[in-house]
Amino acid sequence: MAGLTTMERDAVARAGGASMLDQAMRWSAVNSGTGNLAGLAEMAVLLGDAFSALPGELSLVEPAPAERVEADGRVVAVEHGRHLRLSVRPGARSRMLFTGHMDTVYPADHAFREVTDRGDGTIGGPGTADMKGGLAVMLAALGAVEASPIAARIGYDVMINSDEETGSLSSAALIAELARGKVAALTYEPALPDGTLAGARGGTGNFSIVVEGRAAHAGRDPEDGRNALVAAADLTMRLAAAKSAGLTVNPARIDGGGPNNVVPPHAVLRVNFRPADTDAIARARAAIDRAVAEVARDHDVTVRVHGAFNRPPKPVDAGAARLFALVGEAGGALGIPIAARATGGVCDGNNIAAAGVPVIDTMGVRGGAIHSADEFMIVESLAERAALSAVTVLRIAERGRV
């Protein structure tokens, strides 16, 4: 660590506290699947208590309204937990954004519930890597920065949402609001086990397309019916054909159908698009509009499209390249090799980048097998990644920019 200043060495020492492991394990033991409102409320209290150690104004923000389409085509409201926000030195000349999420992909009744020491330097458990461990890293790094002599040079917002795993539909507006005017952002999704960071990310769009036909007796007067299931199947094939370079299309499910002697009057197609860039989004939208119009005409049905491209693509632009270089320099001074590669996954980093803010979104622990019952966190990476964040933030504070 010969490349560190005395101030940075002091911050690294402070960021390596043993409390991170205790926090990560305690928080991971709380089931906080996106739909588990009681678990999310418990997590919000725990996180509020922990992050209140930092200066500034802490609050819980009510979720924005969000909807989903049921299997029968009805549009219903979806409840989400509250989002944690901490605002520190809002008048500072240079301000950053730090984001994470308290929700996991594991519902309340999921069998994967235990947090265990696997005996090989890793801890297994729901959310250990994605991202209860990352939240502990964020807090430790910010605590170390606050104890430094230049803390007053940097202001920041912390946002920990309750719905990242389902697309941040109730927190996207909050993310956009907090991103405005920031010099940089760090998000605490897990790095790969070897420490590799996510670079460029594609985008994503999720759609539920409701097809309304007409019921009829399948034997007596089938010609009076309008088969919504057949129309949805036709729509599936037309959209699948829109796949092209830089755009993947995944029709994932059709809800609908019923008794064999009834022409099905309702169907819902669920489809995911993964655009590599904004041009691919435009092609996808055109393909949806064209397919919907043709299916409605050819099958004499009504078609309603619900959904959006809620995660825009995240290229590595000039600002992001400078931030990656800065993190690489900090890693070099700490003896931590820093590499990055493009990924097809998406996260809140996509939304932050869309606001024009340089962001690195895998500053959390090293870990793996996320979204599965084999999820794990590498214990030694807690102190390692907290040090990396602390040095990065201090260097931004000294420069006033990336």
- pLDDT tens track for 76-126: 999 999 999 999 999 999 999 999 999 999 999 999 999 999 999 999 999
Nearest C-alpha neighbor of 360 from the set 141, 188, 204: 188
Return the bridge partners of 249, or none. 273
Position 371 scores a pLDDT of 97
Clarify whether residues 40 and 161 are in a common domain.
yes
Clarify whether residues 60 and 122 are in a common domain.
yes
- The model's pLDDT over 328-359, given as tens digits with 9 standing for 90+, comes to 999 999 999 999 999 989 999 999 999 999 99
Clarify whether residues 294 and 333 are in a common domain.
no
- The model's pLDDT over 213-235, given as tens digits with 9 standing for 90+, comes to 999 999 999 999 999 999 999 99
Mean per-residue pLDDT, 361-374: 98
346-382 b/e with 16+ CB inside 10 Å = b? bbbbbbbbbbebbbbbbbbbbbbebeeeebbbbbebb
Clarify whether residues 187 and 236 are in a common domain.
no
- The model's pLDDT over 7-23, given as tens digits with 9 standing for 90+, comes to 999 999 999 987 999 99
Q: How far is CA 30 from the centre of its chain?
A: 19
Clarify whether residues 82 and 213 are in a common domain.
no
Residue showing tokens 């999420």? 101
Q: How confident is the model at residue 71 (pLDDT cuts 50, 70, 90)?
A: very high
**Cβ within 8 Å of residue 51, ≥6 positions away:** 58, 84, 86, 139, 158, 160
Mean per-residue pLDDT, 156-177: 98
Clarify whether residues 61 and 26 are in a common domain.
yes
Clarify whether residues 307 and 318 are in a common domain.
no
| φ and ψ of 182, to 5 deg | -80, 145
Nearest C-alpha neighbor of 72 from the set 188, 212, 166: 212
Residues 386, 145: Cα–Cα separation, whole Å: 10
Clarify whether residues 115 and 186 are in a common domain.
yes
**Mean pLDDT of all residues in the chain?**
97
Q: Is residue 1 part of a domain?
A: no
Residues 80, 146: Cα–Cα separation, whole Å: 32
Q: Is residue 210 part of a domain?
A: yes
Nearest C-alpha neighbor of 40 from the set 82, 100, 98, 78: 82
Return the bridge partners of 250, or none. 272
Mean per-residue pLDDT, 177-206: 98
Q: Is residue 339 part of a domain?
A: yes
Q: For residue 62, is pLDDT > 90?
A: yes
Clarify whether residues 88 and 212 are in a common domain.
no
Token digits for 37? 């409102």
Q: What is the CATH number of the domain that holds 140?
A: 3.40.630.10
Mean per-residue pLDDT, 367-394: 98
Position 2 scores a pLDDT of 76
Mean per-residue pLDDT, 25-46: 98
Clarify whether residues 64 and 190 are in a common domain.
yes
Q: Of the candidates 289, 311, 333, which is a domain's last residue?
A: 311
| Edge-to-edge strand ranges of the sheet holding 57-61 | 57-61, 83-88, 154-161, 94-101, 184-187, 359-360
Identify how many contiguous H helices and E strands the chain contains and give both numbers. Answer: 10, 18
Q: What kind and span of H or E run contains 303?
A: strand 302-311
Q: For residue 58, is pLDDT > 80?
A: yes
Q: For residue 291, is pLDDT > 80?
A: yes
Domain count for the chain: 2
Length of the chain measured in residues: 402
Position 75 scores a pLDDT of 97
Give the domain extent around 105: 6-200+314-399
Task: Summarize the chain as % helix, strand, coil (round to 5).
Answer: 35, 25, 35
Clarify whether residues 149 and 113 are in a common domain.
yes
User: What is the percent of the chain where pLDDT is above 90?
Assistant: 98
- The rounded radius of gyration (Å) of the Cα atoms in the chain is 23
Position 1 scores a pLDDT of 72
Q: What is the DSSP string of 56-90?
A: SEEEEEPPPP-EEE-TTS-EEE-----EEEEEE-T
Position 22 scores a pLDDT of 97
Mean per-residue pLDDT, 370-376: 98
